[in-house]
Amino acid sequence: MAKISVLGAGSWGTALSFLLSNNGHEVLLWSALEDEVQMLKEKREHETKLPGVRLSEKIGITSDLELALQDPDVAVLAVPSPFTRSTSHRMAPFVKDGQKIVNVAKGIEDRTLMTLSEIIEQEIPNADVSVLSGPSHAEEVGKGLPTTCVVSSHSRKTAEYLQAIFMSPVFRVYTTPDMLGVELGASLKNVIALAAGTADGLGYGDNTKAALITRGMTEIARLGIKMGGRLETFCGLSGIGDLIVTCASVHSRNRKAGYLIGKGYTMQEAMDEVKMVVEGVYSAKAAKGLAEKYGVEMPIIEEVNKVLFEGKSAAEAVIDLMLRDKKIESPELPWDNEK
């Protein structure tokens, strides 16, 4: 049994607390919001973000960050990506040397173009930082539906330790050394999911969504490999796996926000309607910045940014994508006959 603190009591943090407690671990769930703490203590359920998932009385709930970081074996950082830096900064004075921190949020900081693990390591340089990612909607994990993720760490030993912590009959965990690839796939797929949702809102069909998923994955892998990630990672759970579920699922807040934009909502109206952090909106600018920094062509990412931040109509963006110059799908493949 491990002592685990889950920092962030949104849908994913709550679902992971439920999972880890069921795995037999001692779990303490932290939230910065006093009203959220009181609701969880009284109801043992997150009524707005994860209704129907009952938390065991064994799970502690607190708003005291210092208490939450009193010598846990593992700290799971589950705050939305825009709050990763500020929360890490608050955590730093209480973190012991070598503390295992597992980030489970997905995003890239648009100001610095840093991944979330890089942010945590900058704010808490004495921590041992890992990431957990994959196609894993909180609603389904909370119901005990079979789910598979991947954990990445700087060392095999840490990755395998965390694999054992999270693994259960309904939650299978793989390991990989490619932390950068895992984080890029996890964050950039949210931007593609906005595009897929927008296509749904415009009334387009499965053909359109399949095109966005496959060409979107091509863009993600193209950038990721240029940055040092591995193709195998983008073909795996945190790449194509997470992209498929986020583009297709009714649980996906990014797809839902895109759907509303396709229906004519502004970006802000869509985010207000979703009522949760839409990670893809924050990652879109960062994705565009990375594409420019590394000289990588990412037309879907570019059009999403124009729709979100420049007032371009979604329908016009689709037309411009369809009418781009003719391309070869896989330029690296040779022809048998060049004539």
Which DSSP string corresponds to 76-116? EE-S-GGGHHHHHHHHGGGPPTT-EEEE----B-TTT--BH
Identified catalytic residue from 189, 209, 256, 285: 189
Q: Could you tell me if 279 and 259 are in contact, meaning their C-beta atoms sit under 8 angstroms apart?
A: no
Helix (H) or strand (E) holding 20: helix 11-22
Query: How far apart, in whole angstroms, are the C-alpha atoms of residue 40 and residue 275?
Result: 19
Measure the CA angle with vertex 319, ends 332 and 218; round to 5°: 25
Instruction: Please provide residue 80's backbone torsions phi and psi, each rounded to the nearest 5 degrees.
Output: -60, 150
Query: How far apart, in whole angstroms, are the C-alpha atoms of residue 310 and residue 120?
Result: 31
The position carrying tokens 């919001």 is 33
Annotation marks residue 100 as catalytic: no
Query: How far apart, in whole angstroms, are the C-alpha atoms of residue 225 and residue 181?
Result: 8
Count of other CB atoms within 10 angstroms of residue 57: 8
Query: How far apart, in whole angstroms, are the C-alpha atoms of residue 318 and residue 180?
Result: 30
Query: How far apart, in whole angstroms, are the C-alpha atoms of residue 282 and residue 133?
Result: 18
Q: Could you tell me if 280 and 193 are in contact, meaning their C-beta atoms sit under 8 angstroms apart?
A: yes
Q: Is the dihedral of CA 116, 118, 119, 124 positive or negative?
A: positive
Report the interhelical angle of 253-262 vs 267-274 (nearest 10°).
140
Name which of 164, 174, 140 is nearest 25 in CA terms: 164
DSSP code, position 238:
I
Q: Which residues are catalytic?
A: 189
